[in-house]
Amino acid sequence: MEAARPLDALNSARGKRVIVELKNQRQYTGTLVSFDIHINTVLTDAEERVDGEMKRKLGTVFIRGDTITIISTQ
C-alpha cells in the first residue's frame, strides 16, 4: 500500500485484508473490493469491531467515504 498518490496506495491494497476505521469509532476488517474518489469503500468477508472486540459478521459492506478516518493493511 505504498505509491505516489494516496489512491494508488489504496489501489495496491485491493484484494488484501484491510482495517477501515470510522468517525464513530467502529472498525471494519475485510477484503478490500473497491473504493472511489470519495473513499466510498466496499469490503467482503467483513467483521465489525467496537473497541477491538468483534461485534458481528457482515459479509459484504459498503462504507460511505465521509465517515472514514483511516484505512490500514493488517
Contact positions toward a second copy, by CB under 8 A?
1-10, 22-26, 28, 33-36, 39-42, 44, 46, 58-73
Report the nearest approach of a second copy to the CB of residue 49 (Å): 13
Pairing between strand 68-73 and 53-63?
unpaired
**How is residue 49 written as a grid cell?**
469491531
CB of 58 to a second copy, least distance (A): 5
The β-bridge partners of 18 are 30, 73
Question: Cβ 14 to a second copy, closest distance in Å?
Answer: 9
